[in-house]
Structure 1
Amino acid sequence: MPTTGDQTADVWDAEYRSAGQVVFPVRRSPAVLRVVLIGVLTVLQIASMATSDQAVAWWVIDWLILTMATTALTYCLWQLATRRPKVVVDREGIRKGRKLITWSTITTLDFSASATGLRIRSEAPPKRIFIPRDNVRDLAMGRAWLQHLLEFHRNSGSQQW
C-alpha cells in the first residue's frame, strides 16, 4: 500500500474530510535509498581505514568521517524504523514534530529556493516548517492542496469542512 505522501490530493482531501487530519509519515523509498547509500559509504570508509597505513593526522580525519557517516546512518535507520518526522495537517493547522503553525497565522506557503520542499512560515509568532520530498512526493500537488485548505480556513473561520 502506498504511503500517504505518494497518493493524490483527492485521497488526502477525502481523508481530511472523514478523519479531520492527514498524516504524512516519511516515505519508505527515499529513506531506504539513503540507508543503502550511507551504509555503502560507511563500509567503504571502514575498508579504507583497515587497509591504510597513513600518518596519524589522516587517521584523525578518517575517524571523523567514520563518526559522521555512522551518525547519519543511525539517523536514517531511525527515520526508516519510526517513519518520523511526520507532517500532520488537521483542522488546527500544519504540524511537523512539535512545531505547529495554525491556519490563521500562516503568512507564506511556497517552494524552497532549491525546490526540494515546501516552506510554511508564520510571522506571529515567527515559526517555520519545511516539508521535504521525504514526506510528499509531488510538491506541486501538495502545495496546491495546502493552499486550497488555507483559503478554506481563512474564508470560513473555524467552521467544519
Structure 2
Amino acid sequence: MKKIFLIAFFLVGAFVAQAQELKWHTDVKEAIAISNKENKPMLLFFTGSDWCGWCIRLQNEVLKTAEFSKWASQNVVLVELDYPRRTPQTPELKNQNNELQQAFGIQGFPTIYFTSAESKDGKVNFKGLGHTGYVAGGPTAWLAVAEGIVHPKKS
C-alpha cells in the first residue's frame, strides 16, 4: 500500500512541476528591470517559432523540460524574441525584436544570448556573457553549455 501511495505521490508531483509554466518576457525593458532587480542575467531566445525547425526542436528537447525549468527559474530571466512568418505581431514588438537582432548581430535561428543590461539616459547598454544555439544531447548537454556561460569557472 505504501508503494502505491509513493508512486501516486511522485506522479502527481511530476504533473504539478510540469504545470508550472516559466515566464517568457517579450518586453525587453521589463525584462531588464527584473534582471537588475533579481541580479540575474537575461537569456535572450532569438527564434522563428512558427517556421524554424531547429527552434522548435530546441523548444521540445530542452526549453519545455522540467530540468530546464528548474535551472532557468534559479539562474536567468527569460526573454523570447520571435520572428514568426504566420503569427501576427504588433509593430512595436517587431521593431524591438529587429533592433535587438541587429544589435546582437543575429544571423540565424535559434540563437540564445546570455546578457546583462543597464539603462542610462534612456539608452540600454548590454554586457554579453556568451551565446549558444541548439546543442544535441537534450537538456543535460544544453544546460552544461549554458551553465558554463552563466557561471564560468574562475581559473
Into which bin does the TM-score normalised by the smaller protein fall?
A: under 0.3
TM-score, normalised via structure 2 length: 0.27
Q: What is the TM-score normalised by the length of structure 1?
A: 0.27
Which structure: larger Rg? Answer: 1
